[in-house]
Structure 1
Amino acid sequence: MEQEFLLRFLEIGAIDLKGDDAKLEKLRATAKDLSAALRKAPSKAVSFTMVAADPNITATDPTIDEAMASLRKQWETVANAFASHPIAILRAILLDAVVQAGRSNDAIAVAFVNTARNALAYAEASDEAEIWREAVSEIETKVDARAETEWATPEMITVDPLQYTPPAPVSTDYGVPSVDKSALRENIFSAAGPWGPNEPNRFQPNQAPQWAPVFADKMSAAIAEALEGMAEELAPSPIDLSGPLSTLAKAVTTHVGKALASFSGATAGLQRRTNLLWWKEALYSPSAHASYLDLPPFEASALMALDLHKQLPTYSPASVSAFLREAIRCLPVEKGSQGNGERDVLSLVHDARTTAFMQPFRMLAAQYTPAPVGRGPLLSLIGHPQGSGAIEEGTLRVHAGMDGSTKMTASEWGTYLFRELQTARAITGSAAKRAKKSGSPTTRAKK
């Protein structure tokens, strides 16, 4: 049975409804409405997740306003029940809504898992850690299962048995053939002498030399005629095998096609794994046309996130992030970095918005995300720099939910950006598919 995360918040005391089941039903209805809205606009998965993960989210955040408006539709007097926006309740509703949507939509599932892992690493939600662990684990398991088809190797594939049902056997009833004894007797009688009705033998039996050959001929003809009549009755009716053979041919074609498709996909999965190992060992950036070892570590880690993202499909196992982290750890520690190879997020975002080597990253970020409004990914800040590219700490806090002084290692920075890239592509691709499926207004008008 699927877990209801609204109840989990009630169980730990994060929200208190005073035991009022009617209020709980209103929250459930609100979560259901927001989940439906999220399925129609998967891009909201990022802001929904980030807001749900941040206990310090402001009441003026656009996502909080949207959740509150949805709650008012179910609970008209909610404003009288709370002195201000019930942030804890709205966060619980948002988490439940995202999980509901993620269970039925793979793109939202990818966005939720990647965004949650990024946000929770820097959020102050320790009291809710177990709830989030369960939510992320459930949806991440779903994403990994979806990714198996694109990451399988030949030894992992299985081919289902041939699906073919033979036709029912054709039953044929044969009657026992019979001989017209009367006609046969007349023919034999005619062969015996000149007294028969059917072209009788003109010789008498006592005329042996002449009678015998004629008798033999007529007797043979009479017996042959009787046997041929029986043979005609015993001859089977012709059976049309074109239908069963055609069905069998189609079943074999489908079976072989599926087997080849599975093997082809597994070969692609093996090639993908091989390419990743080559990339990790070479430590060369195809986007910057330079070795990562020749770049500043934090700059290199961001480009590694970009290059890995370009090599991978949208649906990838969770272990890919760990793979990237280990690859980045192969880089040398940056000289002059704070502490043990760490830098503050504010300076990292500034460099990402201004450094020449990060231009390919900024271009892709701009394609994936709109200009920042409310809580959202760092990609929107990086892809849409304004003026000199400088960013204030307050802006970073409001938009990304992170303090500018938050420290990150190169591997943490690269992994963070990689997850955001995977998230952005998932929800962007999902939105494009929805638009293509529904058709543009012009297309619908023509129809």
Structure 2
Amino acid sequence: MEQEFLLKFLEIGAIDLKGDDTKLEKLRSTAKELAANLRKAPSKAISYTMVAVDPEIESSDPILEEAMSILRKQWETVVYAFSARPVGILRALLLDAIMQAARLDDAIAVAFINTARNVLPHTETSDEAEIWREAVSEIETKVDARAEAEWATPEMITVEPLQYAAPAPVAVDYEAPSVDRSTLRESVYSAAGPWGGNNPNPHQPSQNNHWAPGFADRMTAAIADALNKMAEELAPVPVDLSGPLSELAEAVTAHVDKALFGFSGATAGLQRRTNLLWWKEALYSPSAHASYLDLPPFEASALMALDLHEQIPTYSPASVSAFLREAIRCLPVVDDVQKNGEREVASLVEDARTVASMQPFRSLAAKYTSEPVGRGPLLSLIGHLRSSGAIEATTLRSLGGVDASTRMTPSEWGTYLFRELQSARAISQSPTKRVRKN
């Protein structure tokens, strides 16, 4: 049975309804409507997750506004039940809604997992840690199951037998020809002598010198005419084979296509892994057309996140993030502005917004995201330059959910960006984008 995460917040005391089941039903109805809205607009999955995970989220965040408006429809007096906006209840509703939607929509599941993995280490959720652990574990297991199926390489490829039904035999009316004996007898009789018929032999059998040639000529003609007539009647009836042959050709073509598709699908996982190993060993960026070793470590790690993202499908196992982390650790650490191999997120975001080599990353970030409004991914800040200056610490925290002073290593930075890219692509096809509220 699927877990109801709303109840888990009740169990730890994060929500206190004074044992009122009617209020619980109102919350359930709100979570259900939020989940339905999320499925209609999967592009909100990242913001839903980032707001739900942060106990310090600003109460004026647009996602909380949305959740509150839906809660008011179910619970008209909610504003009088609490002295301030019930952020804890709204966060619980958002998580429950995300779980409901993610169980039904794989794209939302991908966005939730990658976003939660990124932001959980940077939020204070100690009282809720077990709840989030269970939520992430459930959805990550679901995503990994699909990803493993797409990445797997079976030991044997089975091709089904050719499906082709031979056409039914063509029925032909046939009547065996026969010789008209009376006509033939009349011709033979005429050939024997001058006693009648159409072409009688003028000579008597006793006139051997003259009768025999005449007899031979007339008998040959009589027999030949009879045989020719039979031959005409024995001529085969033309049979049109174009239809059956076309059907056979189509069946063979479909069979071969299916076999090749099966082979391609069976070896896709192996080919993908082979390409990734080549990429890791070469340490060459197809987007920057340069070696990662020739770039500053943090720029290289960001571009590695971009290049890996473009090599793999949306549904990928969690181990891919670990693969990227190890690939980035192959880079030398030689940046003078680093301290213990770390840099502050504020400076990393500023570089991502301004450094020339990061242009491919900015272009994709702009494609995947809209202008930042409320809590959302760092991709929105990187892809949409609202100002040329550095982002203020309060703005970075409010919009990106990360403290400006948070320090990251190249591998942590690259992995963070990679997860954001995976999340953004999973929901980027949604026709609904977040819009700015006045």
**Which TM-score tier does this pair reach, normalised by the shorter chain?**
0.7 to 0.9
Q: Which amino acid aligns with 1:104?
A: L
For these two proteins, the number of residue pairs brought into alignment is 352
How far is 1:414 from its partner?
0.3
**Match for residue 217 of structure 1?**
none
Q: How does 1:57-76 map to 2 (within 5 A)?
A: 57-76=57-76
For residue 438 of structure 1, what is the aligned residue in structure 2?
Answer: none
5+ residue gaps, structure 2: 166-247, 434-438
Match of 2:301 in 1: 301
How far is 1:84 from its partner? 1.1
User: Residue 151 of structure 1 aligns with which residue?
Assistant: 151
Mapping for residues 252-331 of structure 1, pairs under 5 Å: 260-331=260-331
Letter in 1 for 2:391: I
The answer to whether the 8 A contact 1:162-1:252 is kept is no
Q: Which residue of 2 aligns with 1:421?
A: 421
Other structure's SS at 1:370 match: coil
Q: What are the Cα deviations for residues 164-213 of structure 1, in whole angstroms up to 9, with x where unaligned?
A: 9x9xxxxxxxxxxxxxxxxxxxxxxxxxxxxxxxxxxxxxxxxxxxxxxx
Q: Secondary structure at the match of 1:288?
A: coil
- Helix, strand or coil for the counterpart of 2:277? helix
Deviations 1:26-78 (A, max 9, x none): 11110100000000000000000000000000110000000000111110110
Q: Distance in 2 between matches of 1:46 and 1:158?
A: 39
Matches within 5 A, 1:89-108: 89-108=89-108
Paired residues for 1:82-231 under 5 Å = 82-155=82-155, 159=158
CA distance in 2, matches of 1:349, 1:297: 14
Return the offset for 1:251: 10
Q: Which runs of 5+ in 1 are unaligned?
A: 167-247, 436-447
Distance 2:260 2:108 in 1: 31
TM-superposed CA distance for 1:316, in Å, is 0.8
Taking structure 1 as reference, are residues 253 and 42 closer, same or farther at Cα in structure 2, changes over 3 Å only?
Answer: same
Shift in Å, 1:256: 7.3
2:37 corresponding residue in structure 1: 37
The answer to whether the 8 A contact 1:154-1:263 is kept is no
After superposition, the C-alpha distances for 1:128-184 in whole angstroms (9 at most, x for unaligned) are: 1111111111111111122133212142x66598799x9xxxxxxxxxxxxxxxxxx
Q: Deviations 1:89-136 (Å, cap 9, x if unpaired)?
A: 100000010111011101101000000101101111121111111111
Which residue identity is paired with 1:334? V
* SS of aligned partner of 2:122: coil
- Does the CA contact (< 8 Å) of 1:366 and 1:383 recur in 2? yes
Displacement of 1:261 in angstroms is 2.9
Amino-acid identity (%): 75
CA–CA separation in structure 1 for the residues paired with 2:334 and 2:417: 19
Cα–Cα, structure 1 residues 2 and 162, in superposed 2: closer, same or farther, change >3 Å?
A: farther
Q: Root-mean-square deviation (CA), in Å? A: 2.5
Name 2:345's counterpart in structure 1: 345
Once the two structures are TM-superposed, the CA of residue 387 in structure 1 deviates from its matched residue by 3.2
Does the CA contact (< 8 Å) of 2:157 and 2:263 recur in 1? Answer: no
TM-score (norm 2): 0.76
Are the equivalent residues in 1 in contact too, given 2:30–2:93 (CA < 8 A)?
Answer: yes
- Give secondary structure in 1 for the equivalent of 2:405: coil
Aligned position for 1:335: 335
Contact 1:284/1:292 (<8 A) preserved: yes
Contact kept, 8 Å, 1:111 with 1:423, in 2: the verdict is yes
User: Residues 154 and 339 from structure 1, CA distance in 2 versus in 1: closer, same or farther, beyond 3 angstroms?
Assistant: same
